[in-house]
């Protein structure tokens, strides 16, 4: 049984929350019945985890809503309740005015499309066509009519040429689109999406964005990627510990850094990516990464003159089925270098990493610290090379965090005491001290990622490889990861589609395509490459456009000028002590978020504007204002 807080409505317990409005409430004021009405929803999982606590929310037809919040805030549970996959422990979900149960639930499922995070969960058919036609057949359509719907849906996602392929033979991006086609074929009035762009390369992400923008019904989307959500949604519902904390328009959400920070969603640290060659400025007008010429001088040359840490010379790898993973691949990685490898899905990045770790052996020369890596030496590369996998569940399999930490350490030949010391140091380094007895499976996504990193860092590798480290992380998790990596002083190889990480962490970027290196540039040069937006799947154009738009909304800097406040605090007028909202003028320095013309243009901070910022000690200041 879940616990109800005593004393009334649970959401009112949070100060400063804004849950009064419903998405679409303003524009749909004339619409009497919301499409979804959630009333005092509570849900707890059988293991006792309270996932939702008193959620009230109305969603109107045509709304486009982003459900945001930290990992574990209850977003996925909420969409399961919305789609009738879970029944609330308390409260009710009304869809089109009726309780979502029994026959109404069966009928509703045929009009509510749900796109799950992992496409393999959703593609259970024998062929793509079987799968996409599954929904229409359940809607009662004949085989021919369902096939027609499926063909049209596959055409919309540009997969008609793969209609009869088995789903397990599709690429990840194709699977995602096939799963979306399976939902679209049912012509749903509501589309519920759980992390629709997770693990997609930017090119595929842009395709997905266009497809979803073209959807005309009600859209509810969970994502940690606020840039993507900003383009797609109009309203944002912020969940925190199973309750709705804020209910904003998307513009309001991204411009309120305090609210974003409160919920671990502040992605503003990402907004310093240069947009099409124009470096964004911070408070001091610098991008914090040094100048282009600094990086350019050091990125490609070995600063010490020693043999590179890793050298690949005309290296090739062919999979047993004949697929070429790497061909004629040559690359030097110098000790201490921070390097990124980018490229579209299927460019050969994962194959390269597997070869560097000794998990695969190809044809050609691979040298590590000047020594040729033979088949025998490759088996011991794990002592020098550590890798954090894209899905950290692939490398976490022990019953406790401590066991997990000791798994690799124990094989290094260290004494038990040394192992424990190193494990404790690494756990502290990744912010997981005290987690020793926790079960890795029960940790949040961000904690698991940091645990996987801690396991590798504890082994003190000469080369650390990170494969898509930000996949599935919320912004706070990303920020923590950046902080940890900034303290790492050995060689780092980062594989990522995330330009922010590439720009933030690395000095050199290698672009791969079809198993070859096609660009090898200092990262600042790569970031300013005009052709970047069109480079084999690395289409970042919409992200750059959105960055610029949000930067204008989020501009924050310090000013000092007279400005107005609205206060609501206890104050004295002669003998009268009272409280009421009132407005008066101050002149003091303050940090201030406001719309901005962009770049370094001059701009006027309107004096009459009411400012929103902390005002410490104001209660004690004398007041003089008229009363009616």
Partner 1 sequence: MTDVPYIQVPLWYLPFLVVIPAGMAAGVVSWLKHRSKNRVVREKDPDWSIPPLTQGSGQGTSLIHRWDVRCKIVTMLAYSFAVASLRHLDAAVAAVLVSLAVLMVARVSLHKVVLRLVALAGFLGMLLVVMPLTVPHHPGDVILVFGSLDWLGVNMRGVILAATIAAKATAIALLMEPLLSTAPLPVTLYGLSRLGVPDMVGQMVLLSYRYLHVFSHEARRMTAGMQARGFVKKTNMDTLRALANFLGMLFVRSFERTERVFDAMQARGYKGRFPEPGQLQIRLPDILLTGVWIAAGTALVFYDCTNV
Q: Which is nearer to partner 1, 126 or 584 (CB)?
A: 126
Q: Which residue among 139, 369, 528, 536 contacts partner 1 (CB under 8 A)?
A: 139
Q: Which residue among 145, 398, 482, 533 contacts partner 1 (CB under 8 A)?
A: 398
- Does position 164 bind partner 1 by CB under 8 A? yes
> Which are the contacts of 385, defined by CB distance < 8 A and separation ≥ 6?
356, 357, 358, 368, 461, 462, 463, 465
CA-CA distances (angstroms) from residue 353 to 348, 387, 518?
Answer: 9, 8, 17
Whole-angstrom distance, CA of residue 190 vs CA of residue 107 = 13
Q: Which residues pair with 49 in a beta bridge?
A: none
Q: Which is nearer to partner 1, 24 or 196 (CB)?
A: 196
Task: Assess contact for 42 and 86: CB atoms under 8 A.
Answer: no
Whole-angstrom distance, CA of residue 385 vs CA of residue 539 = 31
Q: Which is nearer to partner 1, 145 or 533 (CB)?
A: 145
The residue count for binding partner 1 (CB under 8 A) is 70
Among 381, 240, 363, 376, smallest CA distance to 312 is for 363
Which uninterrupted H or E stretch holds 280? none
- Does position 182 bind partner 1 by CB under 8 A? yes
- Does position 397 bind partner 1 by CB under 8 A? yes
Whole-angstrom distance, CA of residue 123 vs CA of residue 314 = 39
Alpha helix (H) residue ranges in 200-300: 202-213, 226-232, 250-255, 257-262, 292-299
The footprint of partner 1 on residues 405-444 (CB under 8 A) is: 407-408, 410-412, 441
CB of 106 to partner 1, least distance (A): 7
CB of 459 to partner 1, least distance (A): 7
- Does position 161 bind partner 1 by CB under 8 A? yes
Task: Assess contact for 384 and 368: CB atoms under 8 A.
Answer: yes
Q: Quick one: 377 exposed, middle or buried, by C-beta within 10 A (0-12, 13-18, 19+)?
A: middle
- Does position 125 bind partner 1 by CB under 8 A? yes
The footprint of partner 1 on residues 441-460 (CB under 8 A) is: 441, 455-456, 459
- Does position 269 bind partner 1 by CB under 8 A? no
> Which are the contacts of 218, defined by CB distance < 8 A and separation ≥ 6?
35, 59, 60, 61, 62, 63, 64, 189, 190, 191
Q: Which is nearer to partner 1, 69 or 135 (CB)?
A: 135
C-alpha atoms less than 13 angstroms from C-alpha of 302 in its C-beta half-sphere: 14
CB of 286 to partner 1, least distance (A): 39
The footprint of partner 1 on residues 554-583 (CB under 8 A) is: none
CB of 163 to partner 1, least distance (A): 5
Q: Which is nearer to partner 1, 182 or 475 (CB)?
A: 182
- Does position 124 bind partner 1 by CB under 8 A? yes
Judged by CB under 8 A, the stretch of 403-411, 530-538, 562-570, 608-616 that binds partner 1 is: 403-411
Binding mask 607-626 for partner 1 (x = CB under 8 A): --------------------
CB of 411 to partner 1, least distance (A): 4
Q: Which is nearer to partner 1, 168 or 560 (CB)?
A: 168
Q: Which is nearer to partner 1, 134 or 435 (CB)?
A: 134
Judged by CB under 8 A, the stretch of 39-47, 125-133, 486-494, 495-503 that binds partner 1 is: 125-133
For every residue of 173-185, DSSP letters joined together read: HHHHHHHHHHHHT
- Does position 321 bind partner 1 by CB under 8 A? yes
Task: Assess contact for 496 and 466: CB atoms under 8 A.
Answer: yes
The footprint of partner 1 on residues 58-97 (CB under 8 A) is: 80, 83, 85
Task: Assess contact for 245 and 17: CB atoms under 8 A.
Answer: yes
CB of 311 to partner 1, least distance (A): 21
SS3 578: strand
Q: Which residues pair with 510 in a beta bridge?
A: 341, 520
Site residues for partner 1 per CB under 8 A? 80, 83, 85, 106, 109-110, 112-114, 116, 118, 120-127, 129-130, 133-135, 137-139, 143, 146, 160-165, 167-168, 182-183, 186, 320-323, 354, 357, 359, 379, 382-383, 386-387, 389, 391, 393-399, 407-408, 410-412, 441, 455-456, 459
């Amino acid at each position: 049984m879940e616990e109800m807080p005593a004393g009334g409505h649970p959401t009112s317990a949070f100060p400063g929350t804004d849950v009064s409005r419903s998405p679409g409430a303003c524009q749909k004021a004339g619409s009497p019945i919301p499409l979804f009405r959630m009333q005092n929803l509570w849900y707890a999982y059988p293991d006792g985890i309270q996932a939702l606590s008193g959620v009230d929310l109305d969603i109107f037809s045509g709304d486009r809503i982003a459900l945001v919040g930290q990992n574990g805030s209850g977003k996925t549970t909420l969409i399961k309740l919305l789609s009738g996959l879970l029944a609330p422990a308390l409260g009710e979900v009304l869809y089109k005015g009726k309780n979502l149960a029994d026959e109404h639930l069966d009928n509703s499922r045929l009009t509510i499309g749900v796109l799950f995070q992992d496409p393999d969960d959703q593609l259970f058919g024998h062929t793509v066509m079987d799968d996409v036609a599954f929904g229409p057949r359940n809607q009662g359509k004949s085989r021919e009519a369902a096939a027609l719907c499926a063909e049209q849906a596959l055409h919309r996602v540009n997969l008609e040429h793969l209609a009869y392929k088995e789903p397990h033979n599709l690429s990840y991006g194709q699977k995602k689109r096939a799963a979306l086609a399976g939902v679209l074929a049912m012509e749903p009035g509501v589309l519920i999406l759980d992390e629709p762009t997770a693990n997609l390369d930017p090119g595929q992400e842009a395709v997905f964005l266009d497809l979803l923008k073209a959807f005309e019904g009600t859209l509810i989307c969970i994502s940690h990627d606020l840039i993507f959500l900003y383009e797609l949604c109009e309203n944002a519902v912020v969940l925190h510990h199973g309750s709705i904390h804020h209910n904003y328009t998307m513009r309001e959400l991204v411009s309120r850094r305090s609210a974003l920070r409160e919920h671990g969603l502040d992605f503003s640290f990402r907004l310093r990516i240069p947009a099409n060659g124009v470096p964004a400025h911070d408070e001091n007008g610098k991008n914090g990464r040094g100048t282009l010429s600094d990086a350019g001088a050091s990125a490609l040359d070995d600063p010490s003159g020693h043999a590179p840490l890793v050298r690949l010379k005309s290296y090739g790898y062919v999979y047993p089925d004949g697929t070429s993973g790497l061909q004629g691949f040559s690359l030097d990685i110098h000790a201490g270098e921070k390097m990124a490898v980018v490229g579209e899905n299927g460019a050969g990045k994962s194959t390269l990493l597997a070869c560097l770790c000794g998990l695969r052996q190809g044809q050609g020369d691979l040298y590590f610290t000047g020594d040729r890596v033979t088949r025998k030496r490759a088996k011991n590369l794990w002592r020098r090379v550590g890798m954090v996998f894209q899905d950290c569940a692939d490398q976490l399999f022990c019953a406790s965090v401590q066991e997990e930490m000791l798994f690799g350490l124990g094989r290094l030949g260290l004494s038990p005491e040394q192992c424990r010391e190193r494990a404790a140091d690494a756990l502290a380094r990744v912010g997981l001290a005290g987690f020793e007895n926790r079960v890795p499976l029960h940790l949040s996504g961000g904690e698991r990622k940091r645990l996987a990193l801690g396991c590798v860092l504890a082994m003190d590798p000469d080369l650390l490889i990170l494969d898509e480290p930000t996949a599935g992380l919320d912004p706070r998790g990303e920020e923590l990861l950046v902080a940890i990596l900034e303290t790492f002083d050995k060689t780092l190889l980062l594989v990522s589609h995330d330009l922010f990480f590439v720009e933030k962490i690395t000095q050199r970027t290698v672009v791969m395509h079809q198993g070859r290196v096609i660009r090898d540039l200092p990262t600042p040069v790569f970031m300013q490459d005009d052709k970047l937006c069109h480079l084999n799947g690395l289409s970042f154009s919409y992200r750059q456009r959105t960055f610029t738009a949000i930067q204008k909304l989020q501009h924050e800097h310090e000013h000092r000028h007279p400005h107005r406040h609205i206060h609501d605090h206890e104050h004295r007028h002669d003998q009268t002590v009272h409280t009421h909202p009132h407005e008066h003028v101050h002149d003091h320095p303050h940090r201030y978020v406001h719309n901005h013309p962009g770049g370094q243009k001059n701009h006027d901070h309107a004096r009459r504007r009411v400012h929103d910022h902390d005002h410490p000690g104001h209660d004690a200041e004398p007041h003089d204002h008229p009363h009616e």
